Every structure is written in structure tokens, then in C-alpha cells.
Structure 1
Amino acid sequence: MKQKHIYAVLFFMFCCFVWSQDYNDLIKKKNNLIKDSNLLNKSLLETQSIQKNSLEGLKIINSQIDLQDKLLDVLEQEASILKSQEENLENTLDTLLIELVALKENYTKLIQVADKYRRGYNKLLFFLSAANFNQLIRRLYHFKKIETNRRNKHLEINLLRENILFQKKTITQKKAEQADLTFLKNNKIEGLKKTKLSQEKIIRSLQNKEDSLVRAIKIKDAETKKITEEILKALEKNNQKKENLTPELALISKNFSSNRGRLPWPVSAGVVVSKFGTVPHPILPGIKIINNGVEIASETNIVRSVFDGEVSKVIVLPTGFKVIIVRHGEYFSVYSNLNFVSVKVGQKVKTKEKVGQLQDVDSNKNNILGFQIWREREKLNPLHWISR
């Protein structure tokens, strides 16, 4: 019976260990999603209503819906783990309660036997009636064993009671966690409904502006073409080939490459609202948009270099927005949609050093940064390079 009790506790501890790994990963993921969702909420709240009904505002709304969907999925997984934990705790508690009943019955019998031999005359007669010395020793051992078993059972019962109290307390805690989680999930579901209503409103508004959307696509395509041309010019000007890199640039290039997946973000806090590659236009059916990088909504207007390098180009677009191209050996990082540039061509910059800024904070406009990474003529997905 004691072994069953031990196995039940060990099984529970093993399950807790396995669950804790998955649960901790889920909590980390949940917190990151909530953080990103709050950042997008703040970005929308700080944006004027005329800007909310823009394509940029729709990008933020779409990203917000995507985050909320992912968050609800994580909350469902968390609820499932909590439910499994509670069920296992209940099963363990049932096993312990059965064990406690059996221990008490066993203990009662031991008490009765011990009382029988504890009385002085019984104990004396028990020892004196031994046929020989060996039998006397065996009786002494038997009596001692009864007393030891009684004490051990008493201790085991106390430990089992403590374990049962702990199980009951843990079950109560899990029920409270599930209640809190259900409340949070319901709030997120309501929030998602409101966000989707906002999305539908923006889509209806933008569908009446098809001409302006087409013009915006042409402007965006022209900007993308201009940035690409400038990068290719920089490659030609610097004769960007690995064998012709100076030792310093070769080292920077090597270090940049070795930091794949660990580069800092170009803004201190941001959320990707438009991904790398070919994506469908959020409003116009059948229209594809080619993103050479990603677009990041930020709560701050400060833009910083993601790695040590040298400013290769500063471009002023017809729209008035500026673009900075920073060279990192055979790699380039590109920062667009800037309102202000704080570096010059040829200037060396350090990791996280400010290179420019987006809209002024007081302008209440969407701070969306265009960010690209190139390796010579190859466009790279920035999400594979910056830390997650």
C-alpha cells in the first residue's frame, strides 16, 4: 500500500514536470502576444480617426486580429493544460484518500496489538513464557517491530494528511486559475468581435477609394524600385564581392552572418504588420503586393541600426520620406518611411545607434517603419534575422 502511495506521488510529480515545461512556454508566448496586442492598441489609440481609416490603419487592425486569434488559441491550450492538471490532482487525491483509509485501519490494528503487549503483566508473561533464550530474543524483536511499525504508520498517516491538504489547496488554486483564464478569454473574444467590426468599417471606407488605393500601390512600387536601384548602385560602387572586402568589412560581414536570429529590432518596441514576400492586397481582390522586407508598427519614433556598419546611402523619395541604407560588409540593412535622418553617408554606426526617426510623436500618425535586409543582390526575410 505504501508503494502505491509513493507511485501515485511520483507519477504526479512527473506529470507536473512535463506540464511545467509546456505551461511555461505557453505563458511566455501568451505574455508576448498580449504585449504586442497592447502595443497595437496603443498605436491605434494614438492615431487620429482620419488615419485609422487608412491602409496603414487596416494593416494594424489586421495584425491585431491575427494576434488575438493566436492569443485565443494559446488560452485554449493553457485551459486544456490546467484542466488536465486538475483532473490528475483529483485522481491523485482519490488515491491518497483510499490509502489514508487503509493506513488508518492498519494503524488501528497495530494499536490494538501494541496495547495488548504494553500492559506490564502481559509483556512480562510474554517474555517469561519463552521456552528458551532464542525464543525470548525473537519475542523481543517481534515486540520492538510492532512498536516501530506503529510509529512509522503514525508518521506515514501524518505525511499523507499533509499531502492531501496540499493536493486540495492546489486543486483550489487550479480552479481559481481556470476561472481567471475563462474571464480573460471571454474578454479577448469580445475584444476580437469589436476589432473585426472596426476592420469591416475600414474595409467599407477604403473600398470607396479604389482610385486612391491604386495610386498608393503605384507610389509604393516606385519607392520599392528606387530603393532596389540604390542598393544595386551601392553594390557596383563598392565592388561588393566577398574576395574584395577589406579585413574590417569581412569581419563585420562574418559577425553579421553569425548573429542571424539574434539581431536587435530596428525600433525598441514594435509589431510586424506586413510580412516579407508576396502578399495579397488587403482590399483590392486579385492584386498582389511584393514586400522586399517587413513593415513594423512602433510605439516610438526612434529608428536604430541593427548592427555595426557604415551608412552607404541616404535617399529622399518624391513623397518626402527618407531611406537609409547601412552596409555591413556584404550585407545591407534598409530603413524607410523616415521623417528625419540623423546620420550622413560614410558615417560609421554602432549596433542600436539612432540613425533617424519616423513621424513626430505629436503628429498622431502611424509610425510604420519599412525594414529590409539584403545580402548582395539577394533579398532576405528580416524575421529570420532579428530576435524573436
Structure 2
Amino acid sequence: MHIKRAHKRILFIGLLLCCFLGFSQNNKQQALENRRLELRREIEKINALQLENRSKKQSELSKIEDFNYKINVLNNLIKVTNQQANYLTREINNNQKKVTDLRAELKQLKADYAAMIVKSYKSKNQQSRLMFLLSSDNFKQAYKRLQYIKQYAAHQKKQGEIIKLKTQELQDINKDLLKQKEAKNALIEENRKSQKDLEAQRAQHQSLMAAINKNLSRYTAQIREKQREADRIEKQINAIIRAEIAKSNAKAGKSTSSTSFALTPEEKVLASNFEANKGKLPWPVEKGFVRLGYGRQPSLINKSLIVKRNGVLIATEKGAEVRTVFDGVVSKIIMIKNAYPVIVIRHGNYMTAYRNVINIRVKEGDRVGTKEVLGDVATNPATGETLLSFIVYKDSNTQDPASWVNQM
């Protein structure tokens, strides 16, 4: 009895494990498909923006940034597509094994069923059911023979149903196999095109780098100048942030030297809601891609030169609207010499800054909602580039926007 229970328990655990593994594999495949589609959309955005700027005099440094980003996206797309193809290969192999096993099982079932029919036919010829019952020695034996006849007929019927179900199962698996092979072939074809695109992008990148390397010192000087300009603007924004923190502490009767906001109960709720949406915030523009990421990183043309960004630089389309990523209050609109304005939105002890904005539609003190339009992204008249700098702060410290904004 205990052995039977143990066997049942092992069987139950095995079934649960199979279900879990199947569920886990399906989830993994869906995650890969979602990621592949996301990367495809990213490439489409890059292509559209490159096409828009093709007639403009885009700088070599900007072109390198675009090429570098697109090459990274294409590499990721090829990697994800290969993973999907490998999963499909494993599924196809598993299903092919199931088909082989089912065919062998069906062959044996049909052979057993045929033998059963022949035996039943011979039994009917040799002795009728009635004679079989009447020849019983007693009622008990006759009853048992009757039960045997019924069980034999039921077994015969059950065998026929099993064969029918197994045949249907085999047909379904074959249909799945066909779909999986078609899906795999489509992925292989997509990867072939992506690989071709990647090779073309690398060739253009190498050609441009060769031209840049001939006058590397000039381009290095340009990068340093851009870094100084970015540092100058970010220094002004940081000063405004610190002033806002000091203002909140003074209002609360606390030390103005504190590096953290003094929050009202309402601001605490807002900050908590902002935190709860980490990784889910919408983009500050409807269409775009991150040309330059957050933090310290080697220059794309001179690895010995380290560049630093407090936020991310987003390339978008001409006339793109700037949208706030979460509910908040317009804390400051900063007018910067030789640059376009910066709008700072406060979300409790979090702040988001949007730099390079024109046609501003809000004023300081306004309450704004998620995705509310703040203005338009300015377009450089010389290069035709439309770039938005986006920064996230927690108190006086910057955060990586990619960890806050959905699929950045």
C-alpha cells in the first residue's frame, strides 16, 4: 500500500515538473519574441530618423554615435533571434521524437486491435454467445461469462477509441511541427537580412572611423568642447536642484545644508508612487532612441578619452513633443546662455529634467500629469538633429534613466 502511494506521489511530482518546465519554456519563448519585436521597432526608429537627417549636414561624431548604437541593436537582435531558433530546434526535435514514439505505439495498438477482431470473429463462428452462456455449469459461471463478454466488448471499443485519439494526437503534432519549421525558417531568413545590414553598417562605420583617425586630434578637441558645454549646463541644473532642496528644508525649519528634500505628507505619497513605477515610466518623447547613455564611458572615437553624462541623450523626430514621465509640479524653467531652456519637474524628492526644449507650454508652479506636453524638442538648424537630454534625480544625486523608463 505504501509503495503504491509512493509511486503515485512520484508520478504526480513528475507531471507537475513537466507542466512547470513546459510553462517555463513557453514564458522564455514569449519573452524572447517580445524582445525581438522590441529590437525590430528600435531599428525601424533609427532608420526613420537616419532617413530624415540624410539631407542634413550631420557631424561625423553624430554619425559615429548613430552607427555605434545601430550596430549594438543589430547584434542584440541577431543574438535574440538565434536563441529563438535554438528553442524552436529543440521543440522540433522533441516533437519529432514524439511522432516516432506515437507511430510505433499506434502500429502496436492497431496490430493488437486487429488480432482482437480476428479472435472475436473466430469465437463467433465456433460458438455463439448464447451457447457459450447455456453451456455454463451453474448460474454463477453463466453470470461470469456474461460479464466477460461485456468486458471484452468494452475493451474492444476502448482500444478503438485510443487508436482514434492517438491518431488525432499524431496529426496535431505534425501540424505543430510544420508551423515550428516555418517559424524557424522565417527567423533564419530574418537573421540573414540582419547580418547583411550589420555588415553594411560596420563597413560604413569603419570607413568613417578611417577618415576621423586621419585628423583624430581635431575630433578629440570637438569631443572635449562638447563635454565642457555639457558640464557647464549640467552644473547650472545641479545648482538649481540644490537650491530647491535648500528651499524645501528652510520651509520645513530644517538645515538648509541637507542634501535631501524635506517632504510634506503629500510629497511623500508622490515620491512613493514615483518609486513604485520604476522601470514603467513612459518615454519623454513618443518616438526616439538613446544615442548616448548615462554615466562615464570611453569616447567612441578615442578610447583614452572618458566622457560623462548625467542623463541620456535621445534622438527623436523633428517637431517631437516633450512629455513629462510622471505626475509632478513644474519646479523650474531654466534659461541657459547659448543653449535652449531646461524644464525641471519635481516628483516629491525625485526630479526629472528635460533639456533642449522650445515652444514651452507650462510655467513654474503648474501641476502636470503623466505624458502632459511641456513643449517641443529643439532641432539644430545646422545639422537637422533633434536631441533631448533627459535626467533623473533622487534628491541631489543623478540616476540612470534607463532603469526608470520602460524599455529604454
TM-score of the two chains, using structure 1 as the length reference: 0.89
Deviation at 1:116, TM superposition (A): 2.6
1:218 aligned onto 2:218 = no
Contact conserved, 2:329 with 2:368, CA < 8 A, in 1? yes
1:239 aligned onto 2:247 = yes
1:128 aligned onto 2:134 = yes
> Which residue among 382, 393, 399 is the counterpart of 1:380?
399
1:330 aligned onto 2:349 = yes
Contact conserved, 2:321 with 2:377, CA < 8 A, in 1? yes
Which residue of the partner structure matches residue 140 of structure 1? 146
> Which residue among 294, 297, 307 is the counterpart of 1:279?
297
Q: Name the SS of the counterpart of 1:46 in structure 2.
A: helix
Which residue of the partner structure matches residue 89 of structure 1? 95
Letter in 1 for 2:85: A
Contact conserved, 1:231 with 1:325, CA < 8 A, in 2? no
Whole-Å separation in 1 of the counterparts to 2:298 and 2:218: 17
Deviation at 1:165, TM superposition (A): 1.3
Whole-Å separation in 1 of the counterparts to 2:124 and 2:19: 40
After superposition, the C-alpha distances for 1:233-284 in whole angstroms (9 at most, x for unaligned) are 3432552446743444444333323332222211112222211110111112
Whole-Å separation in 2 of the counterparts to 1:10 and 1:159: 23
Contact conserved, 1:341 with 1:356, CA < 8 A, in 2? yes
After superposition, the C-alpha distances for 1:162-217 in whole angstroms (9 at most, x for unaligned) are 11111222112211111111111101100111111222233234443642552343
Which residue of the partner structure matches residue 28 of structure 1? 34
> Size of the alignment, in residue pairs?
381
Which residue of the partner structure matches residue 255 of structure 2? none
Letter in 1 for 2:402: L
Deviation at 1:15, TM superposition (A): 5.8
Deviation at 1:338, TM superposition (A): 2.9
Contact conserved, 1:61 with 1:199, CA < 8 A, in 2? yes
Which residue of the partner structure matches residue 3 of structure 1? none
Letter in 2 for 1:253: A
> Which residue among 103, 106, 112 is the counterpart of 2:109?
103
Contact conserved, 2:241 with 2:396, CA < 8 A, in 1? no
1:44 aligned onto 2:63 = no
Change (3 A) 1:361 1:291: closer
**Equivalent runs, 1:1-388 vs 2, <5 Å:** 16-119=22-125, 121-207=127-213, 208=215, 210-236=217-243, 239-241=247-249, 244-299=262-317, 301-359=320-378, 365-388=384-407
TM-score of the two chains, using structure 2 as the length reference: 0.85
Change (3 A) 1:319 1:55: farther
Structure 2: state its 5+ residue gaps.
1-13, 250-259
Whole-Å separation in 2 of the counterparts to 1:170 and 1:10: 23
After superposition, the C-alpha distances for 1:344-364 in whole angstroms (9 at most, x for unaligned) are 333332221111212459998
Contact conserved, 1:281 with 1:288, CA < 8 A, in 2? yes
Deviation at 1:120, TM superposition (A): 8.7
After superposition, the C-alpha distances for 1:286-320 in whole angstroms (9 at most, x for unaligned) are 00001101112224621111122233333344443
Deviation at 1:321, TM superposition (A): 2.5
Whole-Å separation in 1 of the counterparts to 2:169 and 2:52: 53
Deviation at 1:154, TM superposition (A): 1.0
Change (3 A) 1:303 1:125: same
Contact conserved, 1:232 with 1:377, CA < 8 A, in 2? no
Letter in 2 for 1:385: W
Whole-Å separation in 1 of the counterparts to 2:157 and 2:221: 87
Q: Name the SS of the counterpart of 2:371 in structure 1.
A: coil
Contact conserved, 1:12 with 1:88, CA < 8 A, in 2? no
Contact conserved, 2:234 with 2:310, CA < 8 A, in 1? no
Whole-Å separation in 2 of the counterparts to 1:89 and 1:263: 41
Q: Which moved more, 1:234-243 or 1:61-70?
A: 234-243
Change (3 A) 1:326 1:243: closer
Q: Which moved more, 1:136-145 or 1:251-260?
A: 251-260
CA RMSD of aligned residues (A): 2.7
Change (3 A) 1:370 1:361: closer
